[in-house]
Structure 1
Amino acid sequence: MGDKPNYQKIPVHQLVPGMWICRLDQDAPDSAFESQSFYFTSEAALLLLCPDCKYVYIDVNRSLQAPSERQDGTQEARKLYLNLRTQMDRVMGDIRLGNALQHKRMRNVLEDLMEAVLHDSKSMVYLAMLRNHQDELVSKAVSVAVLSLVFAKHIGLRQDQLLPLGMGALLHPVGLLQVPNEILTKTDPLTETEKELIRQYPRRGHDYLLAQGGFDDETLDVVLHHQERLNGEGYPDRLKGRDISFLARMVAITSVYEALTRDRSYRQALSPTKALSQLYRWRFHDFDSRLVEKFIQSLGVYPPGCLVELSNGALAVVHATHTEQRTQPQVLLLTCPELKPLEQQELVDLAQTPRLDIRKALDPSDPRLEKLLKSVMSGHPGFPI
């Protein structure tokens, strides 16, 4: 990057993501350069700020390709995530058929997942919130593992604890494979017998893995005790407080968040912001309050997958958060300001887009949004809303 500015006038249609915009054609002619400067991310985002903009001034020396590289990285994360789910499909399929669990395959899945989270945790959290996978248990396993490892990265968990945490999170629902599907999908209240069958799934998963051999004690503990609660009202052993291991307390939080943000047979999913609010209300009664607060920090004020209304009236879904600018995440635009669905996804970084911010978080279950969101989702079924 040069020390001296190198200004150039350029038409909007020739802009490339990463160009440093110094002034719009709608600015006052005598205004100073770089009074409203920012990186260009997309033409749609620019036109949201200035609908009649025909050309801009850029600083060639400050321009870079970082935004487009970030989009390429998101595509790589998506490929890796889909591969992880495919591998977990095979693992769950083996267990359903009564075949031996292949430790090498599980280790490879976990190592790939850890590397992905370390490299691009923001994209991995967003992908984990997508609800377009047929096998609900596979989706649950991978999502909880992603959330747990992102949580671990945020709090600086020791390297030697990442493997048992990730493995325990990936395998935490295996005991549910022994629960009849008609109970898991039942819409009516469960009988006491059915409730007890559910309460025993962590022990069934633990006993299955113990019989397979090769799993360390910390992994087995996560599988056995991720449904325990600090007040002693969890299951299967009704442990209290510090009797519950640190890793199990982490997965207790991430698994509940995942469950709250997923459609269930007996209730609709909560929005990410409402799910975090619920966890916060439960923080002293059910969970480790310090860990709940750290988990919320790891996802940000507007978590990935959160539906928001922007200051110009457009709707968007949060894609990734910034550590230092938590109220200005990256968002994927869903509509124009007139609430007309966009034909193509546009990634906008609010931290780099002046005069555009989030007005409020929205609840996708709001009946007033139902028709609009159906129209949006018909064109983009992968959105996590």
Structure 2
Amino acid sequence: MQYDLKNSIKIPIDTLMIGMFVTAIEDSKRINLANAGRVPNNVSIQQLIRKGIKFAWVDQSLSVHGCVFKPVPTAQEPVISESHNISPPPKKPTSRFSNQKRSARIIREARGLAQKLISQTFEGKVIDVSNIDDWADDLIEMVLIDSDALQCVSALRNKNKYLLEHSVNVACLLVTFGKHLGLEKETLKQMAIGGIIHDVGKIHIDDKVLNKPAKLTPEEFEHIKLHQVYARDIITNVRGLSDVSSDVCLMHHEKLDGNGYPLGLKDEQIPVHGRMSCIVDIYDALTADRCYKRGMSSAEAFKILLSLTPFHLDKDLVYKFINCIGVYPVGSIVELSDGRVGIVWTSNHDEPLKPEVKCFYSRKYSRFIEVSYIDLKSSQHKIDRAIAPHNLEVDATPFFEM
């Protein structure tokens, strides 16, 4: 991702500090938009100095708290090197605060759309996909700008609204996963729409079975499986639905060995977006609180996903999904080696075991602590374990906000 220099300040290279978020480097009067990121160590700074770099452009809002900035006044507009393939800067504000507020709005709108679709389906009305188009466009733009902010917001759950939240989360995860795989924007849009409607058939399932707080009998499980049969009938009344959206809706319970439902598709009969929906649907269901179980940590869910390969799930895609959302996904709760507990705040795809963590509690001292943002790339501490929200002795909900 390229960053807008209007959000950055220019500093002398010898004042660059560990934890600063560099958006560009300058050797004389020519600026190169290098791969943006936080400075991990002093070795990186010395390498820049040895290369003759005179100045760095840094984004204060994305830098670690406590960094000291010594800006250099700029007399003229910078000349950007033409030797780099530079994408246009994002038009929207890129601060985490504004992106998280926007993500919250997108999630709220999505839940409202999902509720409206359920109501329209229940009343037998024709559903028009165009009603979802604008929301899907907003979702994709948010994923492209700041998928971390979106993941952090969608990590907040309410088990009493599982069906709505699950549909929204599946849509968000599919778009994030699709972006990671380099799929075209139109495909991402159709996958988002498919995610929103993928469980629409459950409106015809007996609530006593759907919300049963115990293990289902074989007969009850067969009844649950009928939601895919109902979905097939329902989506015939969805105006403008694409094949990709339809596949996401109808294939998320298929298995590579042909033992899935409703059609028992096998191997190459399941396209890549269908295989992706199987993985995402299972992951979100495993990590969510349900009426009959507690949600598990992402690490536990990953183990189950891997255990379902290669017969049920595509092994290569499962590994790519884990790499996409991170070993410790944004929005998950972790405990550091010094006993501090926090929310994974910013992903680090180069070093997935070293994300930025927003710490708010100490298990060592059994008390809340002053909120601090720890970038594990430049810290002596590491993540000891992932924690399922229900296994944490305090409520982390208030700390998901900025």
TM bracket, shorter-chain basis? 0.7 to 0.9
The one-letter code of the counterpart of 1:60 is K
Match of 1:232 among 258, 268, 277: 258
Q: Unmatched 5+ residue regions in structure 2?
A: 1-9, 23-41, 46-57, 73-93
> Residue in 2 aligned with 1:75?
101
The one-letter code of the counterpart of 2:174 is S
User: Displacement, 1:383?
Assistant: 5.4
Match of 2:383 among 359, 367, 370: 359
Q: Confirm or deny that 1:211 pairs with 2:228.
A: no
Match of 1:167 among 193, 199, 203: 193
Q: Deviations over 1:128-180 (max 9, x none)?
A: 22113742211011100111110000010133422322211111000011112
- Cα distance between partner residues in 1 of 2:202 and 2:253: 13
- Cα distance between partner residues in 1 of 2:380 and 2:363: 12
User: Displacement, 1:4?
Assistant: 5.8
The one-letter code of the counterpart of 2:137 is E
Q: Confirm or deny that 1:309 pairs with 2:335.
A: yes
> Tell me, what secondary structure is at the counterpart of 2:224?
helix
- Cα distance between partner residues in 2 of 1:259 and 1:343: 32
> Tell me, what secondary structure is at the counterpart of 2:68?
strand
- Cα distance between partner residues in 1 of 2:369 and 2:397: 9
The one-letter code of the counterpart of 1:263 is D
Change (3 A) 1:336 1:41: farther
Change (3 A) 1:36 1:88: same
Q: Which moved more, 1:223-232 or 1:73-82?
A: 73-82
Change (3 A) 1:39 1:124: closer
User: Displacement, 1:350?
Assistant: 3.0
> Tell me, what secondary structure is at the counterpart of 1:362?
strand
> Tell me, what secondary structure is at the counterpart of 1:202?
helix
> Residue in 1 aligned with 2:4?
none
Match of 1:179 among 205, 211, 216: 205
The one-letter code of the counterpart of 1:271 is S
Kept in 2: contact 1:329–1:350 (CA 8 A): yes
- Cα distance between partner residues in 1 of 2:132 and 2:152: 23
Kept in 2: contact 1:314–1:339 (CA 8 A): no
Q: Confirm or deny that 1:262 pairs with 2:262.
A: no
- Cα distance between partner residues in 1 of 2:282 and 2:178: 16
- Cα distance between partner residues in 2 of 1:227 and 1:319: 32
Kept in 1: contact 2:162–2:290 (CA 8 A): no
The one-letter code of the counterpart of 2:214 is D
TM-score, scaled to structure 1: 0.77
> Residue in 2 aligned with 1:151?
177
The one-letter code of the counterpart of 1:362 is A
- Cα distance between partner residues in 2 of 1:232 and 1:382: 44
- Cα distance between partner residues in 1 of 2:100 and 2:367: 22
Kept in 2: contact 1:175–1:201 (CA 8 A): yes
> Tell me, what secondary structure is at the counterpart of 1:90?
helix
User: Displacement, 1:319?
Assistant: 2.5
TM-score, scaled to structure 2: 0.74
Change (3 A) 1:307 1:276: same
User: Displacement, 1:229?
Assistant: 0.5
Kept in 1: contact 2:357–2:376 (CA 8 A): yes
Change (3 A) 1:96 1:330: farther
Q: Deviations over 1:321-371 (max 9, x none)?
A: 1222212212221314744443775444333xx3343231234378xxx5x
> Tell me, what secondary structure is at the counterpart of 2:134?
helix
Kept in 2: contact 1:302–1:361 (CA 8 A): no
Change (3 A) 1:220 1:41: closer
Q: Deviations over 1:248-271 (max 9, x none)?
A: 111000000000001223322110
> Residue in 2 aligned with 1:380?
397
Kept in 2: contact 1:230–1:240 (CA 8 A): yes
Q: Confirm or deny that 1:141 pairs with 2:151.
A: no
Change (3 A) 1:2 1:114: closer
Change (3 A) 1:94 1:349: farther
Change (3 A) 1:91 1:193: same
Q: Deviations over 1:271-298 (max 9, x none)?
A: 0111012111212121111111110110
> Tell me, what secondary structure is at the counterpart of 1:58?
coil
The one-letter code of the counterpart of 2:71 is N
Kept in 1: contact 2:347–2:355 (CA 8 A): yes
> Residue in 1 aligned with 2:68?
58
Change (3 A) 1:145 1:4: closer
